[in-house]
Structure 1
Amino acid sequence: MDDELRRYDAIRPFEPEELPEAYDRLLADGQFRAVLAAAVPGVPFEALAGEVRKCKSCLDFQVKFCYGFLKRLVKTASDGCDMDCSAVDRASRYTFVSNHRDIVLDSALLDMLLIDAGFGTTCEIAIGDNLLAAPWIKDLVRLNKSFIVERSAGLREMLASSKRMADYMHYVIARKHDNIWIAQREGRAKDSDDRTQPSVLKMMAMGGDGSAIDRLRQLHIVPLAISYEYDPCDYLKAMEFQLRRDVPGWKKTKADDVMSMQTGIMGRKGRIHYHCSTCIDAFLDTLDPAMPKGELFDTVARHIDRAIHCNYRLYAGNYVAADTLWPGEGYGEHFTEAERRVFEDYVGGQLARIELEGKDEPFLRECILRMYANPVRNNRAALAATV
């Protein structure tokens, strides 16, 4: 292991020589053993442990265990998952910047789809340390090619932490020749009004060499639109909106995050589509190098947003929600009455799952509808702007 990589020991995925010790810890943990048994049912633990130990790299582990689990999950909890990657070169390496719906699956399904598309590798995944509820989870995500976003650091440490993460991202692209996935913002957009935070781009530009434009170009950013027909966590997100409205100082707990991860993984998702936009390198070349940094990051964020919004795949339920909230805007031609009834029944079922003191059903219904409707408005506005 080279000295430069050692700089990132606190945040990076495992290197091959570190795997035996990581396997020892994981295979001795009861919770991980239960997860492994659920992921690969019907196989004795000792046989599974032997197969785990045969994995000589994180990519080996992903291909041998994660890939098969995700394929089975797509069959049982979705109506299919595909990706349009015609705008990118499979032999190149990119930083995929996407909208963020599901805590676990957004990046996990991308890994599966990259393998299916013949990329030859998956991606290193940016994951917040707030989601690492137990030591075995930290080991598992590092085994799954994740690097840690240190969100719990104090204010004094945040600048150094951001700089280290930016340096590491540049190292991954330039030295490890791997891909990266990172969400366009910190946390999920609970109302699906997806906007890239300029601060994410500012962090990326803390690494690399040259001007801010040069540094962003060195990461080869690809805007990635992720579309789920149904979001299994929509009712949990709606409940969170009411709790934030009604309970002063309410904050999510780690248990809430675990619940969201479990629900997102196992819940009904309908159809799933990933769409890669063109790498933004050529767009960056059109920008004035003398542009003030604040204006630069805002401009690049808007460009990423337009690319993501243009490439949403919209389903009947999205249009039903938009037509319900904003009648008269011409969304009714995109669905049938039967499709309206199916989606309304779905929303009713999700609302019934909410157990909350002082349950405000009209407010909660509107929250869920906005989650499905906002991508429609964003898509329409983005397409109009490109004409």
Structure 2
Amino acid sequence: MSKFDHIRPFYDSEVNEAICSVVHHPMMKALMSFTFPDVEEEVWANQLRKTHSKRDFQINFIYNAIQQVLQKSSDGLTTSGFEKLDKHTPYLFISNHRDIILDTSLINVSLYDHGLIMTASAIGDNLVQKAFLHVLSRLNRNFLVQRSLSPRELLQSSKLMSEYICQLLTRENRSVWIAQREGRTKDGNDMTQQGVLKMLAMGSDEENLMDYFKKIKIVPVSISYEYDPTDMLKMPRLMAEANDEVYIKEKNEDFMTLISGIMGQKKHIHIHVGDILDKELDVIKEENDNQNKQIQALAQVIDDSILTTYKLWPTNYIAYDLLNDTNRFANHYTEKEKNLFERRLEMRIDIENKVMREGFLAMYANPVVNKMKYENAV
């Protein structure tokens, strides 16, 4: 027994048995029928039964599933910055978080296409309550972030997770993906939660925290979707917050968001890999001897990287202009693009509701606002 057993992905020795246990599950059938629409069920089922490693499962099945998602629900994925990475080096990718499944899946597709080490990825246990999804996540090299814990349990869970992440990076030569915050951003403001960095810091065996963060090679990543496929689903929470109400999730809300994110229209998608944090950590170390201040400074460095390299789309500029009743960025979009976005707005929300309209537009406009804070960034 390993102390990581309740959070880790399957070992390769467990993969075949896990696959065989779900090969006839209706959700596996739906996933494979979507992935291989012209292939007989017995053919893909036999291939699954012959699979004995997470890598083979990811490359032969999940990779193809993501290609189908891109083909059916996007105008394509572009990337930049991956060429800076070394093929044999594991990295800690810290990225902004927009979509439950796709953020990490698309990054792994890009890593594979560039011949780089794919990631083990953090996923909230609230997203894998269904037994099939739990098995699928473990096959896909996800490790569990435990939610809804008491403060004491949360501390123990954070220590365990930081230790596991450290083991992956320093002993197993495995890259790791983690979001810069708990949960997806609902308002388009991408900010690194210091709590995430404090959790990572628990795994440090260095005298100075910045030496540890240097050792595990942090790479900030920005991912942007031209259309957020779950934009409408984020409205109830934004409305509740605007009315100072406590938001309570619907029973199947996480699952519906997961499906909508995968199948909803995204148009263009871009992933940018930032520079590996190095000299910035030396500066933080020199300027701050207080650990909390170091964490604060590191969060800012990650934010700076993500916000300045975030790819802005016509939808972002259109939303900014509509929200502020201006045509400041009119040269960044066409009249047709503006009409399409306005039609989407009308179809997805009640535009007579001022709070809802402003919340929806702000979700798309905030990346522009954030980028404007950096001199000459726009």
Fold agreement, TM-score > 0.5: yes
Q: CA deviation at 1:316?
A: 1.1
Residue 227 (structure 1) aligned to one of 214, 221, 224: 224
1:200-226 deviation line (CA, Å, top 9, x unaligned): 011101003112112222221111010
Aligned partners of 1:330, 1:28: CA distance in 2, in Å? 55
* Equivalent residue, structure 2, for 1:365: 357
The correspondence of residues 93-172 of structure 1 with structure 2, limited to 5 A, is 93-119=90-116, 121-172=117-168
The correspondence of residues 29-48 of structure 1 with structure 2, limited to 5 A, is 29-48=25-44
1:126-162 deviation line (CA, Å, top 9, x unaligned): 0001111211211110100100001133222111110
Residue 209 (structure 2) aligned to one of 212, 222, 231: 212
* Equivalent residue, structure 1, for 2:373: 381
Q: CA deviation at 1:43?
A: 2.9
Residue 283 (structure 1) aligned to one of 280, 286, 296: 280
3-state SS of 2:224 partner: strand
* Equivalent residue, structure 2, for 1:273: 270
Contact 1:223 1:307 in 2 (8 A): yes
1:289-323 deviation line (CA, Å, top 9, x unaligned): 65211111111101111100111111111111112
What residue identity is the alignment partner of 1:331? Answer: F
* Equivalent residue, structure 2, for 1:305: 303
TM-score, reference length from structure 1: 0.91
Q: Does 1:331 align with 2:329?
A: yes
* Equivalent residue, structure 2, for 1:188: 184
Aligned partners of 1:189, 1:104: CA distance in 2, in Å? 14
Aligned partners of 2:375, 2:256: CA distance in 1, in Å? 36
| Cα pair distance change 1:33/1:293, threshold 3 Å | same
* Equivalent residue, structure 2, for 1:258: 255
Contact 1:321 1:370 in 2 (8 A): yes
Contact 2:224 2:311 in 1 (8 A): yes
Q: CA deviation at 1:246?
A: 5.1
TM-score, reference length from structure 2: 0.93
Aligned partners of 2:84, 2:323: CA distance in 1, in Å? 34
Q: When the two structures are aligned, how many residues end up with a matched partner? A: 375
Q: CA deviation at 1:44?
A: 3.3
Over aligned residue pairs, what C-alpha RMSD do you find? 2.1
What residue identity is the alignment partner of 1:275? Answer: H
3-state SS of 2:284 partner: coil
* Equivalent residue, structure 2, for 1:15: 11
| Cα pair distance change 1:219/1:360, threshold 3 Å | farther
Which shows bigger deviation, 241-250 or 148-157? Answer: 241-250
| Cα pair distance change 1:339/1:35, threshold 3 Å | closer
Q: CA deviation at 1:327?
A: 4.5
Q: CA deviation at 1:248?
A: 4.1
Aligned partners of 2:160, 2:91: CA distance in 1, in Å? 19
What residue identity is the alignment partner of 2:271? Answer: Y
Residue 62 (structure 1) aligned to one of 36, 58, 63: 58
What residue identity is the alignment partner of 2:290? Answer: P
Aligned partners of 1:322, 1:247: CA distance in 2, in Å? 25
What residue identity is the alignment partner of 1:228? Answer: Y
1:14-52 deviation line (CA, Å, top 9, x unaligned): 111111221232225333333333333343333222211
Aligned partners of 1:260, 1:307: CA distance in 2, in Å? 28
Structure 1's unaligned 5+ residue stretches are 353-358
What residue identity is the alignment partner of 1:295? Answer: K
Aligned partners of 2:161, 2:123: CA distance in 1, in Å? 11
| Cα pair distance change 1:29/1:337, threshold 3 Å | closer
Which shows bigger deviation, 141-150 or 29-38? Answer: 29-38
What residue identity is the alignment partner of 1:221? Answer: I
What residue identity is the alignment partner of 2:113? Answer: D
Percent identity reads 37
* Equivalent residue, structure 2, for 1:356: none
Aligned partners of 1:309, 1:232: CA distance in 2, in Å? 21
Residue 174 (structure 1) aligned to one of 170, 175, 180: 170
What residue identity is the alignment partner of 2:265? Answer: R
Aligned partners of 1:65, 1:197: CA distance in 2, in Å? 34
What residue identity is the alignment partner of 1:123? Answer: T
Contact 2:240 2:246 in 1 (8 A): no
What residue identity is the alignment partner of 1:298? Answer: Q
What residue identity is the alignment partner of 2:358? Answer: E
| Cα pair distance change 1:360/1:128, threshold 3 Å | farther
Contact 1:167 1:207 in 2 (8 A): yes
